[in-house]
Amino acid sequence: MKQRKTQIKPLDIIVLLLLIGAGVYVFYRIKIGLNYKWHWSAMPQYLFRYDEESGKWVANFLILGLFTTLRLSIWGTILATFFGTVMGLCRVSPSLFLRLVSRGYVEFIRNSPPLVLIFLFYFFIGDQIIPALGVDAFIRARSESTQAILSFLFAPPELFSSFFSALLTVSLFEGAYITEIVRAGIQSIEKGQWEASRALGLSRWQQMRYVILPQAVQRILPPLAGQFISLIKDSSIVSVISIQELTFQATELMAATYYTIEIWTMVAGLYLILTLSCSLLAERLEIRMARSR
């Protein structure tokens, strides 16, 4: 293939100059005209603070929020992949009942506003189902060390049930999109693969398990990685049900300090760190898989 050379044309230069001009102008207006005092120097303390008692640096609001976002994202990814795989398999099942169930699930989720779903799930799962299951009592009955592990992995005992309903909400929500990715991946495998394995006497489950899914997974991986990144971003909407993740913490901090622009810039940066590392990881994985073929 011929290497394409990057050529700079007069038009490019004009556009570039205009952009620089606009940038300088905006910066100038902000400098002299904007009624906003910058407080960048206050920002680091919201990430980490010095703990007088122990004499150590410990995580503060935003980093604590970032950890909760991370917990939500990691468990959410696992649960959503589970829902998506099970429902995706139902989508291509020969059973009409299973197809209807999974279709209903996908259409319901994809056609409702996420915010409405959050409230619905939160009040249904969080207020009704989880108390009914006795999760709170169960956790309070555990030993100190078990509770410590649980709060590291999920949330402190008093927030456990709301964390859990937020987690379920995010996973059910993203699971619907993963369902469609899984369905499309399975259906993209040539009919000949089904026929050849059927002619050899494999059962439907064996065909799926040994012939279709391994091939589908390779095709599913790129869109799946994209969906995981969406999950990280979408996890911010659970801030409306007081889960103390990154966006919620930022809202609180903003209400207390009014350092609006700095705080949200920081938060955007923190989300970018999460999502970009996820993209890089996915890219690496794809290259590795492509090489192993």
Which residue number, 64 or 202, has a Cβ lying nearer to another protein?
Answer: 202
Shortest Å, Cβ 94 to another protein: 13
> Is residue 201 involved in binding another protein (CB under 8 A)?
yes
Distance between first and last Cα of the chain: 22
Asked if 17 is part of the footprint of another protein (rule: CB under 8 A), the reply reads no
202 binds another protein (CB under 8 A): yes
| The one-letter amino acid at 131 | P
User: Which residues pair with residue 48 across a beta bridge?
Assistant: 59
The binder of another protein chosen from 187, 214, 265, 269 (CB under 8 A)? 214
Among 49, 99, 103, 198, binds another protein (CB under 8 A): 198
Token pair recorded at residue 276:
């970009």
The residue range among 8-16, 124-132, 214-222, 254-262 that interacts with another protein, by the rule CB under 8 A, is 214-222
Spatial separation of the C-alpha atoms in residues 98 and 91, rounded to whole Å:
7
User: Which of 218/275 has CB closer to another protein?
Assistant: 218
For 95, phi then psi, to 5°, come to -80, 125
Residue 187 touching another protein (CB under 8 A): no
Minimum distance, C-beta of residue 293 to another protein, in the bound complex (Å): 7
Choose the binding region for another protein from 87-95, 101-109, 169-177, 204-212 (rule: CB under 8 A): 204-212
Smallest distance, another protein to C-beta of residue 289, A: 11
Residue 158 vs 195, nearer CB to another protein: 195
The answer to whether 188 contacts another protein (rule: CB under 8 A) is no
Selected from 215, 230, 251, 279, the binder of another protein by CB under 8 A is 215
Enumerate binding residues for another protein (CB under 8 A): 190, 192-193, 195-203, 206, 210-211, 214-215, 218, 293
